[in-house]
Structure 1
Amino acid sequence: MQTRVKLWPMNAELGLRERKKLERRAAIESAALDLFEEHGFDSTTTEQIAARADIAPRTFFLYFPTKEDVVLADYAQRLDRIVEELGSRPADESPWDALRASLLVVASDYEHERSALIRRFSIMTTNPSVFARSLALQAGWEDTLSAVIAERIGSGHDDGGITARLLASAALAAMRSAIQHWVISGHHEALPDLLTSCFDQLAHGLAEVR
């Protein structure tokens, strides 16, 4: 199945050279995802991906360090999107509400890119090396968001950053749970609605669940 993957930077004026780079990156992603689905992740080589994308084998590594990173190619942009949204939230808004609003924006992005997300998720969950790489990247998300939230909280919580990290990790856990349920259940509910439900449950506390 021939597909196209497009993930352009948000709110950016792109020159011709940058557009060409993004188009080539998208072509590599599309070629890789198609081949992973056709032949399996482990059986697909970077040389095969390069041939399908009509590039030299060495060019692949100018864009992606590993095959795993092709599957998870949108992670960096998603994190940038969350950080951007957090930076735009009102200063007097609570960190939890700011995280909630920012992640709901990304959930809406995912909703509009449903087919691509489902393809990536399917490959990730059925290949241990991709799943392990995703966990490493998610840990990076937690580090970044913890730092952003710590700065937002300021010196009022001199607890070594544990409050900021707890907020970030809980918010990301809500996001992961919502996405997993959304994909596994056949995405009958809107992802933003599922994420809202997850945030509500965390906000009200899970201790009373029996």
Structure 2
Amino acid sequence: MILREDAGMSGRRERKKLATRAAVREAALRLAARHGVEKVTVEQIAAEADIALRTFFNYFSSKEEAVVATLAAGAEELIAEFRARPRTEPVLRALREAVLVVMAHGDAGRRDHLEALHLIRRAPSLVPQQLAVLAAQEKALAEAIAERLDQDADDIYPMLCAATVMTALRVVFNRWLDRAVESTDLPSMTALREEVDEAITELAAGLDRPGRAR
């Protein structure tokens, strides 16, 4: 009975930590989008998330890390969905299905992700944090792919597959952002999902194509 109660308390603490981290991440993104990263302080983010300043530093080392954390959260959800796919599915099909499931979970998460990418374009100070997040994402995805195939995470296929898929997603999101800048109307999320689907399908079909005779 005591062990069960301890486990319940541990579970509640973990959920609270995750909720606090999400609140800080969302507050940082919200304030940065409203005022610009340079004009936002850690103190303002803590106040917006209704936490003490010292609590902020329990979760993030800087405001830049907090703003970019939305990208990491999206990747964590993608990898979790990928791990949940049937082991009999080919890797790229499983990744395609995982991406589409994540994108179907709601507009708020997708828009936060795209907002973070948009902010990175406007704020060079966020680029180092973005690069760190991208490296961690690729490593975690490579480990999940290797586990699925009973390979080592440093084998070339898991690493190459993870890097290629993450790059394909960045290409699609950047194309979406380019159209958003050029138009007064945001491109539809349906179109974004279709392009993600198309990009991963292209990878699965193979990138090598013959040249055209002149």
CA 1:110–1:174 in structure 2 vs 1: closer, same or farther (change >3 Å)? farther
C-alpha RMSD of matched pairs (Å): 2.9
CA distance in 1, matches of 2:66, 2:37: 11
SS at match of 1:192: helix
2:80 to 81, 84, 88: 84
Q: Does 1:102 align with 2:103?
A: no
- State the AA in 1 paired with 2:156: I
**Aligned residues with identical type, % of pairs:** 37
CA contact (8 A) 1:71 1:124 kept: no
Q: TM-score, normalised by structure 2?
A: 0.75
CA 1:149–1:19 in structure 2 vs 1: closer, same or farther (change >3 Å)? closer
CA 1:36–1:201 in structure 2 vs 1: closer, same or farther (change >3 Å)? same
Ranges in structure 1 where 5+ consecutive residues have no aligned partner: 1-13
Q: Runs in 1 of length 4+ with deviation above 6 angstroms?
A: none
Superimposed CA distance per residue, residues 56-83 of structure 1 (whole angstroms, 9 cap, x where no aligned partner): 3222212322111221223443333223
CA 1:206–1:44 in structure 2 vs 1: closer, same or farther (change >3 Å)? same
1:136 match: 132
SS at match of 2:89: coil
Q: Does 1:182 align with 2:182?
A: no
- State the AA in 1 paired with 2:167: A
Q: Does 1:161 align with 2:162?
A: no
1:61 to 57, 63, 67: 57
2:8 match: none
- State the AA in 2 paired with 1:72: V
Q: Does 1:171 align with 2:165?
A: yes
CA distance in 1, matches of 2:105, 2:196: 13
CA 1:123–1:96 in structure 2 vs 1: closer, same or farther (change >3 Å)? same
- Report the CA distance between 1:89 and its aligned residue: 1.8
- Report the CA distance between 1:43 and its aligned residue: 2.5
CA distance in 1, matches of 2:40, 2:165: 35
CA distance in 2, matches of 1:135, 1:18: 27
CA distance in 2, matches of 1:132, 1:140: 13
Ranges in structure 2 where 5+ consecutive residues have no aligned partner: 1-10, 181-186
CA contact (8 A) 1:178 1:194 kept: yes
